[in-house]
């Protein structure tokens, strides 16, 4: 197992053990507060019993996400599993409490009476959950009556999904999903895209591992839940309303043969004095192993993006010339937002320009007096117009521009739901050997698994990488426009059309496109 995976596994194991210890201490304190002896093996056995009857079921059904516990205990569970667990846990706690009422009469019964009370409470809680399923509409079974719904009866069985995926792109679920994605983009539907097909009677979206997602709609025209609505509004805001941050400064640092690492120029004002620069100098001008790659530094209220370069040549005193031109932006108020990502390609391009100029005419080592004016021109051009054209010589001109793919776009919200399905935004998908060689190691493992059927969690299981890391990679691919994210479409669901389906019939081109991708066998 690679070292990174071992560290992730150890971190997850440590977090689980810590949460179990906290839950044990909390239940022990509650038992002691109700009169249980503090130093007693019987009390410890009772606490362990309650852990297995209450805490662990909640963890398994909520995937160890403590934020989901509230949905299991506030009488508004989202899924069938959460309904059963919430009722069972509530019954176990009430049963243990009622069983303890006879303990003051005979302490020899402690904690047997509470044990039996917990078991009886679990049975009664499960029966109440079973009763609610057939009496409460959000958990009722879909109606068997006939309706004028477009038939989706001959779906491919879930067990044969992989065989379908391996077919040519023209007839695969990936192509159908890609076609649907293009339709939704062309319609500019926003939230309407998700509401075009919705499960009937709040059908629960089950997942093979036992977890599930459910829809809160029970009628054809019902809107998305408030959480989903806010999520899509947040996505729209991130993708279409934000502007790239303004440059705060541009600094040029190099390794001086006499005094070592030093900042030569800062534009427009000096933001790093010698004392502050010394704290990050080893990152600005790093060792040889860290050169020729993108480096980001978070310092105080700034984010520094640089691309340190070392030019080896015997004409230099140390046979190497090391420099770094860095762009500085103000730190964002949101922890998950990396504003400096907009300037990464520009920083790398500037480094390549300066290397070429130094190799051709010693621009940095002998004509560095021209560098402050160049830095000022880049700073003003990018901040005012988002681009700049800086002629250096008759043969060399620096062209810089904030790429349109990065303008007005923020990364999707973090973390992504593990049940979102990534789908490539163009055909053929970039899974050829040449395309994969240009990607990072994590993307090389994930991209071949993206087929329009697997969700993020399924991809993580296939590549044996932590779900959070896979989600971060998919989030990055989504930001760069390589993939789009769609809700998981399961064959076990029963879908009905909403009034927004009329958009399909209004466009013959859309209908013909879907016919070419649909499967009838």
- Would you state the pLDDT for residue 414? 64
Domain end among 108, 139, 170: 139
Question: pLDDT at position 151, please?
Answer: 32
Residues 431 and 369 in one domain: no
> What's residue 226's pLDDT?
45
| Tokens found for residue 276 | 């502050």
For 226-260, the three-class secondary structure string (H helix, E strand, C coil) is HHHHHHHHHHHHHHHCCCCCCEEEEEEEEEECCCE
Closest CA to 353 of 377, 386, 384: 377
Contact 265, 372 (CB under 8 A): yes
| One domain, residues 330 and 446 | no
Rounded-to-integer distance, Cα 324 and Cα 305, Å = 10
In a domain, 145, yes or no: no
268 prior amide bond cis, ω within 30: yes
- Sort residue 408 into left (φ over 0), alpha (ψ -120 to 50) or beta: left
Q: With respect to residue 465, please indicate whether it lies within any of the assigned structural domains.
A: yes
126 and 22, same structural domain? yes
Mean pLDDT of residues grouped by 10 in the chain (521 residues)? 65 78 81 78 80 75 55 54 73 80 71 79 80 58 36 34 38 47 42 39 37 34 40 42 76 89 88 85 88 85 89 88 91 62 86 89 86 91 88 85 58 76 84 82 89 89 89 84 82 75 79 74 62
Task: For residue 330, give the nearest of 276, 408, 409, 249 by alpha carbon.
Answer: 249
User: What local confidence, expressed as pLDDT, does residue 74 receive?
Assistant: 53
Element at 16 (helix H, strand E)? helix 3-33
Q: Are residues 44 and 170 in the same domain?
A: no
Q: Which of 400, 385, 407 has its CA nearest to residue 327? A: 400
Q: Give the pLDDT score at 412.
A: 67
Domain that holds residue 366: 247-401
- pLDDT, residue 324, reads 93
Do 56 and 116 fall into the same domain?
A: yes
414 within domain boundaries = no
The Cα 424–Cα 175 span in angstroms is 10
Q: What was the pLDDT predicted at 486? A: 86
Whole-number pLDDT of residue 61 = 64
Domain shared by 212 and 71, yes or no: no
* Residues 56 and 183 reside in one and the same domain: no
Alpha helices in 100-225 (DSSP H): 112-133, 161-165, 173-187, 191-195
DSSP 8-state class, residue 111: T
pTM above 0.75?
no
Residue 352 lies in a domain: yes
495 occurs within a structural domain: yes
Residues 281 and 306 grouped into a single domain: yes
Q: Tell me, what's the pLDDT at 254?
A: 92
In terms of phi and psi (left: phi > 0; alpha: psi -120 to 50; beta: otherwise), the region of 114 is alpha
Q: Are residues 374 and 441 in the same domain?
A: no
Helix ranges (DSSP H) in 65-111:
69-73, 80-99
Reading phi first (left if > 0) and then psi (alpha if -120 to 50, else beta), residue 413 is in beta
Q: How many structural domains is the chain composed of?
A: 4
Q: Which DSSP symbol is given to 500?
A: G
Establish if 82 belongs to a structural domain: yes
Half-sphere exposure of 434 (CA within 13 A, CB side): 0
Residue 391 lies in a domain: yes
Last residue of a domain, one of 401, 430, 445: 401
Same domain, 66 and 97: yes
Residues 371 and 429 in one domain: no
User: Does 408 map to a domain?
Assistant: no
Q: Which residues contact 440 (CB under 8 A, 6 or more apart)?
A: none
Q: Clarify whether residues 177 and 133 are in a common domain.
A: no
Q: Of 81, 106, 139, which marks where a domain is finished? A: 139
* DSSP secondary structure, 326-366, as one string: EEEEEPPSSTT--GGGGGHHHHHHHHHHHHHHHHHH-HHHH
Q: Tally helices (H) and strands (E) across the chain.
A: 20, 14
């Amino acid at each position: 197992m690679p070292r990174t995976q071992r560290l992730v596994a150890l971190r997850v194991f440590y977090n689980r053990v810590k949460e179990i210890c906290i839950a044990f201490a909390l239940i022990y304190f509650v038992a002691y507060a109700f009169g249980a002896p503090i130093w007693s093996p019987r009390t410890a056995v009772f606490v362990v019993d309650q852990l297995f009857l209450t805490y662990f079921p909640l963890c398994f059904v909520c995937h160890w996400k403590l934020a989901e516990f509230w949905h299991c205990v506030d009488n508004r569970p989202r899924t069938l599993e959460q309904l059963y667990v919430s009722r069972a846990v509530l019954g176990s706690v009430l049963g243990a409490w009622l069983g303890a009422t006879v303990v003051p009469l005979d302490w020899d019964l402690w904690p047997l009476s509470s044990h039996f009370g917990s078991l009886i409470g679990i049975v009664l809680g499960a029966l109440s959950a079973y009763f609610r399923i057939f009496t409460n509409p959000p958990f009722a079974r879909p109606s068997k009556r006939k309706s004028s719904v477009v038939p989706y009866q001959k779906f491919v069985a879930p067990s044969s999904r992989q065989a379908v995926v391996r077919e040519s792109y023209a007839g695969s679920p990936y192509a159908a999903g890609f076609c649907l994605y293009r339709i939704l983009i062309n319609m500019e539907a926003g939230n309407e895209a998700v509401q075009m097909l919705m499960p009937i009677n709040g059908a629960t979206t089950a997942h093979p591992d036992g977890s599930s997602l459910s829809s809160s709609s029970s009628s054809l025209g019902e809107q998305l839940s408030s959480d989903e609505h806010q999520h899509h509004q947040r996505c729209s805001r991130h993708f279409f309303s934000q502007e790239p941050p303004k440059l705060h400064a541009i600094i040029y640092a190099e390794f001086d043969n006499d005094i070592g690492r030093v900042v030569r120029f800062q534009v427009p004002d000096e933001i790093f004095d010698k004392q502050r620069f010394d704290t990050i100098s080893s990152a600005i001008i790093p060792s040889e192993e860290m050169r020729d790659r993108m480096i980001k530094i978070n310092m105080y209220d700034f984010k520094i993006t640089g691309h340190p370069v070392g030019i080896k040549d015997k004409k230099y005193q140390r046979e190497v010339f090391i420099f770094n031109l860095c762009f500085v932006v103000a730190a964002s108020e949101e922890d998950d937002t990396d504003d400096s990502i907009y300037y990464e390609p520009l920083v790398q391009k500037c480094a390549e320009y300066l290397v070429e100029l130094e190799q051709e005419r010693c621009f940095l080592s002998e004509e560095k007096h021209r560098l402050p004016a160049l830095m000022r021109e880049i700073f003003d051009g990018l901040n005012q117009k988002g681009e700049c054209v800086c002629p250096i010589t008759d043969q060399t001109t620096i062209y810089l521009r904030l790429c349109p793919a990065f303008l007005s776009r923020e990364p999707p919200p973090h973390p992504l739901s593990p049940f979102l399905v990534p789908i490539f935004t163009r055909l053929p998908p970039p899974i050829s050997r040449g395309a994969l060689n240009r990607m990072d190691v994590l993307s090389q493992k994930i991209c071949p698994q993206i087929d329009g059927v697997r969700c993020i969690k399924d991809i993580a299981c296939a590549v044996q990488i932590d779900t959070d890391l896979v989600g971060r990679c998919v989030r990055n691919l989504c930001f760069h426009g390589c993939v789009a994210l769609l809700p998981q479409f399961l064959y076990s669901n029963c879908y009905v059309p909403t009034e927004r389906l009329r958009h399909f019939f209004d466009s013959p081109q859309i209908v013909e496109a879907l016919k070419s991708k649909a499967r009838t066998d």
